[in-house]
Amino acid sequence: MTDVLILAEGPLGRLRLNRPKALHALNTDMCEAMLAALDAWATDPAIEAILIDHAEGRGLCAGGDIRMLAESGATDGVAARAFFHVEYRLNHRLFSYAKTTVAFMDGITMGGGVGLSLPCDFRIATENTKFAMPETGIGLFPDVGGGWYLSRLPGRTGQYLALTGHRLDGAECLALGLATHYVPSATLDEAKRRIAAAPQDIAAILDDLAVPAPDARILAQREVIDRLFASDALEDIYAALAGDGGEWAAQQLATLRTKSPQTMKVSLRLLHEGRQMATFEDEMRQEYAVGAHVVQRHDFLEGVRAVIVDKDNAPRWSADGPEGVSDHVIDQIFAPLPDAEAWTPH
C-alpha cells in the first residue's frame, strides 16, 4: 500500500495521506513524493489547484515518524536530519506555492499535519478537528513553521498552545484564524466534487458550504491566557500560574510540569524570534538548526521512550523545572549550523 496517494483528477492535483494505522504520520518517503508532485504540478497548465486530505481513518495527520527520529537521534542523527530537511522543504513549498492550495483538517491534525495545513490558502475545519502542537510532551518543539504561525496568533494564545500542547476543536481553529472555513464533515465530499468542477471558484464554494461554528471556548479564556502566559521567560509563567489561585491556572501548571522544561524554553524563544522573522524561509532555516540539535539531546530520546516506546508516561527530563535549564544550553540549541549543513529551500 502506498503511504501517500498522488493523483491528478481533472484540474486538481491531489495529495491523500494513506497510512491509517499510523494516523497518517509522515515519513521521509511521503514527504519526498509530495514535494516531487508539487514541483511537477507547479509548471503543469492542466493543474489549477492542489487538495490535501487523508484517504481513510481518524484524521489528516498525527505528526511525523517520531520513533524513527528517536532511533536516528540516538546514533548519528543523519536520518532524522534528512527527514526534517525534506519535510521543511515541503512546508516551504506549500507556503510559497503559486497555485491555490486547500487542506481538509478533518479529524486529528497535529505536528506534521499542521505543517501541511497552515501554509495552504484554504484550511477547512470540521466538527471532528483536533488541532494541536503537542511536541513539548516528548522533548521536541512546535516545528514545521510553528515558530512563525503560533507567534502570529492573537495575544499569547500561541505561547499557551506551544507550551501546553492544548488541543483545539474546529470552532476554535476558525476563531483563531488557523482555519478559513468551518464545514460539516458530511459535506466534504460535495466540497471536493464542486472544487474539481470549478477550481477557480474555491472561495465561493467554501463560503456556500460553510456553516456557523459553535462558540470557540478558547475565546472565553483569552484574558487569562494573555495575562498568565505574558512572559517569554518560563520561570515567570510558572510563577504567574502558581500565584493565580484559580483552578484553571492550577491545571495549566500541572500540565506544564509533565513537559520538558528544556523544550518549553526552546519553544518560547522560537516564538519570540519567529514573530520577527522576515521570511518563512528564515524561519525554516532556524527550525532546522534547532531540530538538528534537539533530536540528539536526552530530553527527546527520553520523551519518546516514555510516551511512545515504553508508554509509562513518566519521562525523566534533564531538568526538574525551568531553573534547571541554563541560557547557555538554549544558546547551544539555537546555534546556526555551518553553511554546508544548513537548510535550504531547494
Backbone angles phi, psi at 262, to 5 degrees: -60, -50
- What grid cell was written down for 200? 477557480
Q: Say how many C-beta atoms besides its own lie within 10 A of residue 214's C-beta.
A: 14
Residue 327 annotated in active site: no
d(CA 266, CA 246): 27
Q: Report whether 140 contacts 270 (CB < 8 A).
A: no
Q: Say how many C-beta atoms besides its own lie within 10 A of residue 165's C-beta.
A: 20
Q: Report whether 284 contacts 344 (CB < 8 A).
A: no
Residue 112 annotated in active site: yes
Task: Provide the residue type at 1 as one letter.
Answer: M
- What grid cell was written down for 244? 493565580
Identified catalytic residue from 112, 145, 147, 274: 112
Identified catalytic residue from 53, 65, 87, 135: 135
With a CB cutoff of 8 Å and minimum separation 6, the contacts of 20 are 54, 55, 56, 57, 58
Identified catalytic residue from 53, 87, 106, 143: 143
Backbone angles phi, psi at 184, to 5 degrees: -60, 140
Q: Report whether 172 contacts 221 (CB < 8 A).
A: no
Identified catalytic residue from 13, 59, 63, 64: 64
Residues with catalytic function: 64, 112, 135, 143
